[in-house]
Structure 1
Amino acid sequence: MIDQVSPPTAPKCLGLPLREALARGDAVAGTAVPILRHLIGAGDLSIFSEETVARIRGMLADVARQLLDALVGDEGHRVHSPGEVEVVGHALLDNTALVTHLHALTLEWQLTERLQGRLGLDPVASPLLQRALVSTQPLARSEAAAFLSTQVRWCHAQRGMGLPLAELPAELLDIALYTLRTLAGFEPALAERAGVVEDELRRSHDEASTRIGLATKLLATLSQEGGHQGLSISDAGVPLFLTAVATASNQSRDSVLRYTHRSQAVRLALAFRAAGLDDREVRAQVAAFDPSCALPDGLAQIDAVEAAAILSAPPQPRPYAL
């Protein structure tokens, strides 16, 4: 689900306005996660919004509490001290991949709330999902119902700045479990228990049954009916739309979420282009995210293959100082 297909080398003849826009966005993206890690650890809220930092800190603490619950085997009935949670949370904070994922989820929730207020998009039951729930295909109905349940739970958790441990992608669950095992290793009495917990959580984890796994399966089933299923934000809703764009453009879903930031509007447009949308559709979808966004000239001349290549190419420095 996260692996990407390497497209051809990016074209070298991009117009100057487009190259400058990409370079500006890359400059912002390159500093985002290191700054976030510093702010979360230090409590400084001067650069990112207070809500962004608080949400990531809250999800880290929630994952830490769930790991501690599993370690002591009390299923959450024990209240862990702030010190215990902080130790595990800070250890988790050391991993860039995990912080990047939590930042992406924060962007998704903020986008969900923003588009609910501006476009009236239901956070749970989009028009596409509602049609799937009454589909003539039993498989589509079943998958839609399963996704609906996980989306309801995710929304509830996000309102409390939490994240179910089972919703982590497999490689990030590995990171969380490695962190737990490393910390428990300092206490001989807990080391053996940590190994048991790790085995249990690995066996019970099913990435295909996570919210994103279910979204991917549902979209694959619906795509059998033909057309660009899920590639309209107003029809698909935020979670299915983001999943559809990531799948169709060969980008990770977390990358597509980062593109929704204002500074990454060009990359968002390129992702839509790589997903197969034409220039008119690309501009309509970008406008749904940000009506005031003015895209640079040249995007219409870039086809889907070239767009995918640009997105997968390493960030480039600015052609000259602005």
Structure 2
Amino acid sequence: MALTAHTGTDSGVIETLLRDDLFHADQAMLHMAPILQHLLRNDDSSIFSDEIIARVRGMFADIARQLVQAMGEAAGHVDAGAWAREAGPGLAEMLASNQALLTHVHMLAVEWQLAEKLQGRQGIDPVLTPLLQDLIASPDPDLAARGMNLLAAQARFGQAIRRMQMPLTELPGELHAATLAMMRAYVADDPSGVAAAELAEMSLHKARAGAASRIDLLSYAISASGARSSATLSLQNAGVALFLTALGLGAGLERETAVMCTTESQMPRLALSLAAAGIDRDGLVETFAALHPDIALPPALEDLHPDRAAAMLASSQAADARR
């Protein structure tokens, strides 16, 4: 991160350094999905940690298992679970070829790794945080109830990641629909399979429509809490899950991008995202101290206006879309 080597106070120079750093961060994001797809098909995990790769691979296998088992149950297989274990591997590979789904699953694994790291390093509870406690204690019964639901969902999330599982009901709506479309494509050449897929799709769609996912609950909690950015963008107060959601909403980012911001290759994007979300200098320093304790931020970074930071992020995203 070139800006960390600059200790001056010229805000124009800081913007130039951020823009250059952001270009390199863009390149890292651009090549992330193709590299991860390669690693999932091979045993070379030298670029990403073995733990992350294993969890992503396991979660795709679990998604495929759920889909095939649903089709097996629709087709009347006596032991649909056993059938799913035999028929699922090819579907897992097809699912992993979907870049949006791959990115989502990958970032969930990265999110939990970060939560575990910060729990060990700073004692930040990955489930029950001060902000979530405030939500649960809210005088608004609806907000308090959703806070309790979020507490349970966050606990289930940690358990699922450790078990390398990915419940279908936790997928965002668009990705859930894309997953069901790939299930149909997987059996497109088999008339009986197509019929089973259609029945399975109705059942799985109904289950998703009736469920509030963890991501849904996190977004609602940030939007409805009324807490200031200083509270929602404090890792110590909000915890990793709510912090990432607040960062995405505040900076106008996809949540997956907000997760990616916390990694070493994306420090300039993190600085811009925090600035765009309206965090002050103290909050910026506190966040970097938690995520990247060896990085010293230049004083002039506090002069970067939120609108200017947001414009730089938007320009970067537009450039990514053109590539």
TM-score bucket of the superposed structures, by smaller chain: 0.7 to 0.9
Structure 2 residue 280 is matched with structure 1 residue 271 = no
Letter matched to residue 170 of structure 2: E
Pairwise CA distance, 1:105: 0.6
Pair 1:220 & 2:223 matched: yes
Measure how far apart 1:274 and its partner are.
0.9
Query: How far 1:76 moved relative to its partner?
Result: 8.1
Partner of 1:34: 34
Q: Which amino acid aligns with 1:101?
A: H
**Stretch of structure 1 that moved more, 102-111 or 136-145:** 136-145
Contact 2:143 2:221 in 1 (8 A): yes
Decide whether the 8 Å contact of 2:229 with 2:278 is kept in 1: no
Distance in 1 of aligned mates of 2:109 and 2:228: 32
Number of equivalent positions: 306
- For 2:6, the equivalent position in structure 1 comes to none
SS of the residue 1:21 aligns to: helix
Distance 1:207 1:278 in 2: 39
Aligned partners of 1:215 and 1:240 also within 8 Å: yes
In 2, distance between residues paired with 1:193 and 1:289?
47
Pairing partner for 1:299 from 294, 298, 301:
301
Contact 2:52 2:109 (8 Å CA) reproduced: yes
Q: Residue 122 of structure 2 is aligned with which of 119, 122, 126?
A: 119
Match of 2:3 in 1: none
Q: 1:145 to 1:81 in 2, by over 3 A?
A: closer
Between the aligned partners of 2:35 and 2:169, the Cα distance in structure 1 is 27
Indicate how the Cα distance of structure 1 residues 158 and 235 shifts in structure 2: closer, same or farther if over 3 A, else same. same
From 196, 202, 213, the equivalent of 1:193 is 196
Partner of 1:280: 282
TM-superposed CA distance for 1:222, in Å, is 1.2
Give yes or no for contact 1:229–1:244 (8 Å, CA) kept in 2.
Answer: no
By how many angstroms is 1:163 displaced? 0.9
Question: Equivalents in 2 of 1:66, 1:199: separation in Å?
Answer: 14
RMSD of aligned residue pairs (Cα, Å): 2.4
Structure 2 Cα separation of the partners of residues 233 and 256 of structure 1? 13
Percentage of pairs with the same residue: 36
Gaps of 5+ in 1: 1-11, 318-322
Q: Which runs of 4+ in 1 moved over 4 A?
A: 74-77, 225-229
- The verdict on how the C-alpha distance between 1:93 and 1:302 changes in structure 2, with shifts beyond 3 A counting, is same
* Counterpart pick for 1:139 among 142, 153, 175: 142
Q: Secondary structure at the residue paired with 2:45?
A: coil
Deviations 1:53-100 (A, max 9, x none): 111101100100010111111798622465522101011011111111
In the aligned structure 2, how far is the partner of 1:163 from the partner of 1:281?
33
Which residue of structure 2 aligns with residue 18 of structure 1? Answer: 18
Alpha-carbon distance in structure 2 between the residues aligned to 1:85 and 1:233: 39
The structure in which a higher percent of residues are helix is 2
The whole-number CA distance in structure 2 between the counterparts of 1:101 and 1:226 is 27
Residue of structure 1 in register with 2:260 after alignment: 258
State the alpha-carbon separation in 2 of the partners of residues 226 and 103 from structure 1.
Answer: 29
Where in structure 2 are the equivalents of 1:85-96 lying within 5 Å? Answer: 85-96=88-99
Map of 2:240 onto structure 1: 238
Say whether the 8 Å CA contact 1:266–1:295 is kept in structure 2: no
The letter for the 2-side match of 1:239 is A
| 1:60 match | 60
How far 1:121 moved relative to its partner?
Answer: 1.0
Alignment TM-score, normalising by the size of structure 2? 0.88
Deviation at 1:296, TM superposition (A): 5.4
Higher relative contact order (CA 8 A, sep 6+): 1
Unpaired runs of at least 5, structure 2: 1-11
CA distance in 2, matches of 1:203, 1:82: 24
Aligned equivalents of 1:141, 1:316: Cα separation in 2: 39
Contact 1:230 1:240 in 2 (8 A): yes
Tell me the equivalent position of 2:51: 51
